[in-house]
Amino acid sequence: MSLANGRPYLAIPGPSVIPDRVLAAMHRASPNIYAGALPEMVETIWPDLKRLAGTQHHAAIYIVNGHGAWEAANANLFSRGDRALVLATGRFGHGWAESAQAMGVAVELLDFGKSAPVDLDRLAEALRADPAHRLRAVMVTHVDTASSVKNDIAAIRGVLDAVGHPALLCVDAIAAMGCDEMRMDDWGVDVIVGASQKGLMVPPGLGILWVSDRALARCRDSDLRTPYWDWTPRLTGREFWQLWCGTAPTHHLFGLRESLTMIHEEGLPAVWARHAALARAVWTAFDVWGAGNPDIALNVADPAHRGHAVTAARLGAPHATRLRDWLETRAGVTLGIGLGMAAPDDPAYHGFLRVAHMGHVNAHMTLGVLATMEAGLKALGVPHGEGALSAAAAVVAEAAGA
């Protein structure tokens, strides 16, 4: 029988759960886009967006998903034929590289595989191999949503500085923003790419760029820009329509206003700590399920290199796909597919899955996912270690305290 009726839970790494407060803020008649409540409200978004990323510099919003936000960054960063170094630690690093390459950028790719972070020595070597400083930018994913590998952005900046390479440091924080700690200015990041539908808890449709003064100055003459992608009027436009190159994304903006209010009400350190605790609960459950069952394991061995927004794991083919199907049809929970770990027509594909814990997620939601996963493992006869739920509960108890 199915026990799925009730409120469904989409535990995939984006789009994430939309809070009722965000939905309610979007539930309104179309506003005037020339004057009044909408432009006045938008004025209040910029400081909160910058505080979220840890920057005093600039932010721009595009009406796009994450792929569009990549193109927005590329168009402003580069001129045709410019060189860039992309550091890939999962499918999304490759995605950004492909996007830049297709736009005419000469991309040099360093691939660190699917389970490990950027190797800083290899990065230093690649930068030293460019004494003429032809590499214009270094692009890296903060948390790669496919692998759940997290990179140490401050350490990457440290390598650029130690080598004395002037490339702009550009970070895809689409998954991690609002989940993992981000300190753009402290870490010397020049451009951050974000999107609305992950840690920001808003439907897909807003791409966000955070831009340093240095990037703004260095990119004044980039010739990949077309009028829609040019960040200049979005950052400095005198008229409201120029911020969007046309009609504003009216309802998304009201949703974003509410999500930023929620994040800053909770406080960024508390938001980061909540994500860290829920991630640890998920990791602990997998560790127990996998004890004595080598088919079950987290994708990233070292907890220091795991993102806090999503966990990629393997379960042995075809059990990951069977478990995902079981959870959706019997328990009302949808887990993420394994992305970029194996081709969809490869039987190994059915051995990978991802559990999202990003955005509007709390202890009962994450413990609920883990409990229904364990029910599924039992129903399907997948061998697993016993005691995962009480171990995960102990993590939550310790984090939440008395």
Write out the binding residues.
354
Nearer to ligand PLP, 39 or 340 (CB): 340
Distance of alpha carbon 130 from the chain centroid? 30
Burial of 197 (0-12, 13-18, 19+ CB in 10 A): buried
State the DSSP H helix or E strand holding residue 334, giving kind and residue range, or none if neither: strand 333-337
Q: Min. distance of Cβ 78 from ligand PLP in angstroms?
A: 18
Nearer to ligand PLP, 65 or 284 (CB): 65
C-beta separation of 61 from 208 below 8 A: yes
Nearer to ligand PLP, 175 or 333 (CB): 175
Q: Which residue number has the CB closest to ligand PLP? A: 66
Q: At what angle are helices 250-266 and 268-290 packed, to 10 degrees?
A: 80
Burial of 144 (0-12, 13-18, 19+ CB in 10 A): buried
Nearer to ligand PLP, 89 or 284 (CB): 89
Would you list which residues are annotated within the binding site for substrate? 354
Nearer to ligand PLP, 146 or 363 (CB): 146
Q: Cα(241)–Cα(329) distance, rounded to whole angstroms?
A: 45
Nearer to ligand PLP, 208 or 331 (CB): 208
Nearer to ligand PLP, 14 or 338 (CB): 14
Residue 135 sits at φ, ψ, to 5 deg, of -70, 120
C-beta separation of 150 from 306 below 8 A: yes
Q: Min. distance of Cβ 36 from ligand PLP in angstroms?
A: 30
Residue 123 sits at φ, ψ, to 5 deg, of -65, -45
Q: Min. distance of Cβ 203 from ligand PLP in angstroms?
A: 11
Q: Min. distance of Cβ 127 from ligand PLP in angstroms?
A: 23
Q: Min. distance of Cβ 98 from ligand PLP in angstroms?
A: 12
Residue ranges that bind ligand PLP, judged by CB under 6 A? 14, 65-67, 92, 141, 144-145, 172, 174-175, 195, 198, 204
Q: Cα(73)–Cα(185) distance, rounded to whole angstroms?
A: 18
C-beta separation of 171 from 193 below 8 A: yes
Q: Min. distance of Cβ 144 from ligand PLP in angstroms?
A: 6
How far, CA to CA in Å, does 193 sit from each of 83, 211, 401? 19, 9, 35
Among 235, 228, 254, CA closest to 50:
235
Nearer to ligand PLP, 144 or 181 (CB): 144
Q: Min. distance of Cβ 161 from ligand PLP in angstroms?
A: 25
β partners of residue 131: none
Q: Cα(263)–Cα(92) distance, rounded to whole angstroms?
A: 25
C-beta separation of 225 from 245 below 8 A: no
Nearer to ligand PLP, 198 or 306 (CB): 198
Q: Min. distance of Cβ 307 from ligand PLP in angstroms?
A: 9
Q: Min. distance of Cβ 67 from ligand PLP in angstroms?
A: 4
248 Cβ partners below 8 Å, 6+ apart?
33, 38, 42, 240, 241
First to last CA, the chain: 38
The letter for the amino acid at 64 is V
